[in-house]
Structure 1
Amino acid sequence: MTERYLGTGHEADAGPRLPLGVPAHLPQRLAITLWDFSWYTRAGEGEPYADLERACADAVDLGYNAIRICAAPLLLFGHPELSTLARDLEIEGLGAAPDGGFYGRGTRWYDVPGGFRIDLLERLRQLLEAARRHGLVVILASWEYQQSTSFARSSAWFEAIDAVPLERRYAHLATAWGRLIDWVTDLGLRAQIAMVELHNEVDFSILPALAGEGERALRALQHEHPDLLITASYGKPPHLAMHRVSEALGAAQFHVYSYGVLDALQQRIDIRSEHTEGFPNPTLRSLLLDGAPTPAEYGRPADWKLRATVVTDQMIYGYDWVDPGLWDEWLAEHDAPYRLMMRREIESRVAAVAGWAHWRQVPAVIGEGWLGYTPLHAWYEESEYGRAFAECGVDAALRAGVWGVVLSSNAAPHHPMWQLREWQRMMNARVLAS
């Protein structure tokens, strides 16, 4: 009897992988909660980050050991002329709407009422010290060329960084990061740094391609700080052609979203575009709250705020006035053909980025995921259905040897998902025990 060969010897390695390239002083797995810029834009009285000590303690209570933030390096260390602004930063959000509310009230991340002032440099020190007391490490990133500046009352922050020529922005970021890292080191808090990202989602920000100047900036910063993991993140890395990803990245901090049925809805209602004639179209109008104003009646944020962010005025209007229940009903009615595809997409994308990281022998991190950007009070990702996809992504990440993972981009104090406390504890225990 003859044995058939059938590719024996070419199978993938059996069993789960372990993370590679993790500095010895850092946790061997990261359970990450995404605090982004919200840790300073939602810091008013009674808001989720008003008390950083309490916020850190709460994160630990839910099983997290890492937080990922915008450290605003350009504001704090990139422009000396902004030092006064940084020490007395007035948070406004996207501004007052004509009905007495504020723009962005129905969105995630942009639901910033503002109305308070902060010393951002002092606040960063307080956060790092609180993190140390509670055993948390911090992933430092910048969202400044994506949206952070739009929440300030003054346009000076945006105007200063926007004046930097496109081809010089990575070098400018690297210089500011070098100064910030030195400042953290002088405070005796360097050990709290889990990773430094030159910028969040360079492929979805007001930045050029990373190749060339971006790679040189990364390597220069890595040369100055060889003990730190220094990288840049991608919102959508080329999963089908990972050989195109820059070898200058010190870690694979990539994001994995599978929009699926959500993308079908977004395209149908044309909510991410701008200047669309006839907006809102009939499908979007059918999903709006009773009594919703027209876009002309509602108005829009100041022009400079829209230039400072990647979110459009159509998206702000639509999310502010959509009925979350009708939104979720539409998704539930149309999701069946997408379910298997979305699950496979999450698993294959995680496998691709983790495989690239193992090939490069650097840590892999899924710093954002899984289903996409939804209205603030929609329950799509928080539902049992949505959490099943999140669990699929987390489990795929652990099998593939990913070092750090979010449970969901929405699992943070400024989102309703934070109230799913037992689910977070269960999932974080799974992450840290793996």
Structure 2
Amino acid sequence: MPPKSRESSSPQATAIPAHLPERLAITLWDFSWYVRTGPGEPFEDLDAALAKAVDLGYNAVRICAMPFLLFRSGLDTTALRLEPLGGDPDGYGSRVRWYDVRQTTVIDAKAHLLDLFRAADRHGVKVISSSWEYQQSPAFADDPAWYEALHAVDPEDRLTVLAEAQADLVDLLAEHGLAHVLACVEPHNEVQIGHLTAGLPGAADAVVELQDRLEAGIAAFQARHPEVLCAPNYGGVPTGSLRSLPRNATALAFHPYVYGVLDDLIEEFGLRRDPAEFPQERADAELLRPGAPTLAEWRLPEAHAWKLKASIMQPAEIYVHDWCDPEKFDRWLYDHYGPQRIAMANRLRDWIDVAADHAERLAVPLFFGEGWVGYTPRDGRFEEGPVGAQLCRDAVAHSVRVGAWGSIVCSNAAPQHPMWTDEALQRECNAALLAPAK
């Protein structure tokens, strides 16, 4: 397990900087904090959102800081125009978790970033800076310039360019007296899932093949800001390839989504396969609302087709999340949960244990920035229900047990999700997470 205090008996250990909390209770604000700032949206008022987070027991937020856009794209970001995925607040993606942007907005992106850090400072909240730019963020712009700039970078150089952009961010924060608000940087979210794997040979696991690129990126960041923790971030806990974690990492971040019964649903209905394989009649009967269009009918307007390339979501998954009856979706998960119950609990425990073991091997702090079940429809309640809520409690208990530096209540415990209103569960889990060590 990683260092449990600022002092370590290992001379190689990376200590948590003294100005940072000994444990982080993290709420996941991802790219939502800037794409959802319009009237009635959850981040219309950053101060109010942070005040509520503190009230619920959080002391850290994890965000896409749009570092490439701000510092390496060459684009003018003083009037960044953001919009719903399909341009229509009631259209494509409007009922998809994380994608349900309602308002078209224009922001001065760099000023907005500084506003967040200033507000976080006022509320005593630390910020983990990441990037979703090679996964989703540019899909909410009203034109493809951001997406095109990202993909103009040679795949071999993308992680280094992102790391340099994060170093530029630290420079900006220091210039404005805000560097102390930063808890950690990640070169990118879930490096092995998305466009950062472009150009790899594909002969081995992406985690293995990304090692050199990640180490080069981390080295570029550390050459400029060795005082700031830099964590590679992985989707899941890739247990078969953790030998290839960057040797120069100064923190580690994992997302233990255990899936289990959700994997069964995704596989049964082919949500991440070719749309031609989608079982429309079965989905109509078991998952969808009456009157739903067919998958073939539900697509992005042609003018917005580039946005699907800027996102890693599959059309069948967007379609089902948009048009499912949330109660039917939840019922399917509950009906099929029994055979997966023990496997999901074991995977959660084992992944957290393995992550902690490798953090101790590298002598670096560990945090869990996302988890625990997986990607469910916005209006589903499986994570908040008796099964999901207990997984949240168990995950927090495991995080404390292994000495993790930080953890979440659940990926869905954030202002942009309905779970934000489940205050009792969040207060309970955050209190357990931040309780003094016995």
Which TM class, normalised by the smaller chain length?
Answer: over 0.9
1:77 aligns with 2:71: yes
What are the Cα deviations for residues 135-168 of structure 1, in whole angstroms up to 9, with x where unaligned? 0000000000011000111111101111111112
Take 2:190 and 2:410, find their aligned partners in 1: how far apart are those partners? 17
Contact kept, 8 Å, 1:21 with 1:363, in 2: the verdict is yes
Q: Which runs of 5+ in 2 are unaligned?
A: 6-13, 198-208
- TM superposition shift of 1:271: 1.2
- TM superposition shift of 1:273: 2.1
Take 1:316 and 1:285, find their aligned partners in 2: how far apart are those partners? 18
From 15, 20, 29, give the equivalent of 1:26. Answer: 20
- TM superposition shift of 1:173: 1.1
Contact kept, 8 Å, 2:184 with 2:228, in 1: the verdict is yes
Contact kept, 8 Å, 2:232 with 2:246, in 1: the verdict is no
Q: Secondary structure at the match of 1:207?
A: helix
Rate the CA distance shift 1:299–1:241 in 2: closer, same or farther, 3 A. closer
Match of 1:9 in 2: none
Farther off after superposition, 46-55 or 222-231: 222-231
Take 2:3 and 2:348, find their aligned partners in 1: how far apart are those partners? 18
Alignment of 1:31-70 (within 5 A): 31-70=25-64
Match of 1:120 in 2: 109
1:212 aligns with 2:216: no
Match of 1:335 in 2: 337
- TM superposition shift of 1:380: 0.6
Match of 1:92 in 2: 83
Counterpart AA for 1:362:
V
Q: Secondary structure at the match of 2:61?
A: strand
Rate the CA distance shift 1:310–1:329 in 2: closer, same or farther, 3 A. same
Match of 1:417 in 2: 419
Farther off after superposition, 280-289 or 44-53: 280-289
What are the Cα deviations for residues 118-149 of structure 1, in whole angstroms up to 9, with x where unaligned? 11111111100000000000000000001100
Take 2:267 and 2:286, find their aligned partners in 1: how far apart are those partners? 15
Q: Which runs of 5+ in 1 are unaligned?
A: 1-12
Counterpart AA for 1:43:
T
1:239 aligns with 2:239: yes
- TM superposition shift of 1:17: 7.6
Take 2:281 and 2:225, find their aligned partners in 1: how far apart are those partners? 52
Identity %: 44
Match of 2:167 in 1: 178
What are the Cα deviations for residues 210-247 of structure 1, in whole angstroms up to 9, with x where unaligned? 32232112112112111100122000232245323221
Take 1:330 and 1:17, find their aligned partners in 2: how far apart are those partners? 42
Contact kept, 8 Å, 2:273 with 2:314, in 1: the verdict is yes
- TM superposition shift of 1:23: 1.1
Counterpart AA for 1:423:
L
Rate the CA distance shift 1:295–1:283 in 2: closer, same or farther, 3 A. closer
1:286 aligns with 2:272: no
From 432, 435, 438, give the equivalent of 1:433. Answer: 435
Q: Secondary structure at the match of 1:431?
A: helix
Counterpart AA for 1:417:
M
1:166 aligns with 2:155: yes
Take 2:170 and 2:136, find their aligned partners in 1: how far apart are those partners? 22
Take 2:73 and 2:90, find their aligned partners in 1: how far apart are those partners? 33
Q: Secondary structure at the match of 1:296?
A: helix
TM score, norm. by length of structure 1 = 0.92
What are the Cα deviations for residues 278-313 of structure 1, in whole angstroms up to 9, with x where unaligned? 553524553110000122333225221011010012
Match of 2:182 in 1: 193
Contact kept, 8 Å, 1:268 with 1:283, in 2: the verdict is no
Counterpart AA for 1:268:
E
Contact kept, 8 Å, 2:392 with 2:429, in 1: the verdict is no
Q: Secondary structure at the match of 1:204?
A: coil
Take 2:31 and 2:429, find their aligned partners in 1: how far apart are those partners? 24
Counterpart AA for 1:385:
V
Take 1:127 and 1:62, find their aligned partners in 2: how far apart are those partners? 18
Q: Secondary structure at the match of 2:189?
A: coil
Contact kept, 8 Å, 2:230 with 2:250, in 1: the verdict is yes
Match of 1:146 in 2: 135
Counterpart AA for 1:232:
P
Q: Secondary structure at the match of 1:254?
A: strand
Counterpart AA for 2:371:
G
Contact kept, 8 Å, 2:71 with 2:165, in 1: the verdict is yes
Rate the CA distance shift 1:422–1:286 in 2: closer, same or farther, 3 A. closer
Counterpart AA for 1:216:
A
Match of 2:275 in 1: 275
Farther off after superposition, 45-54 or 205-214: 205-214
Match of 1:7 in 2: none
- TM superposition shift of 1:33: 0.1
Farther off after superposition, 362-371 or 351-360: 351-360
Farther off after superposition, 275-284 or 121-130: 275-284
Farther off after superposition, 224-233 or 138-147: 224-233
What are the Cα deviations for residues 50-80 of structure 1, in whole angstroms up to 9, with x where unaligned? 0001111110010100000000011100122
What do you get for the CA RMSD once the two structures are aligned?
1.7
Moved over 6 A (4+): none
Take 1:299 and 1:256, find their aligned partners in 2: how far apart are those partners? 31
- TM superposition shift of 1:427: 1.2
Take 2:397 and 2:278, find their aligned partners in 1: how far apart are those partners? 44
What are the Cα deviations for residues 252-289 of structure 1, in whole angstroms up to 9, with x where unaligned? 11110110011001100111223324553524553110
Contact kept, 8 Å, 1:237 with 1:245, in 2: the verdict is no
- TM superposition shift of 1:359: 1.8
Counterpart AA for 2:69:
L
Alignment of 1:294-333 (within 5 A): 294-300=294-300, 302-333=304-335
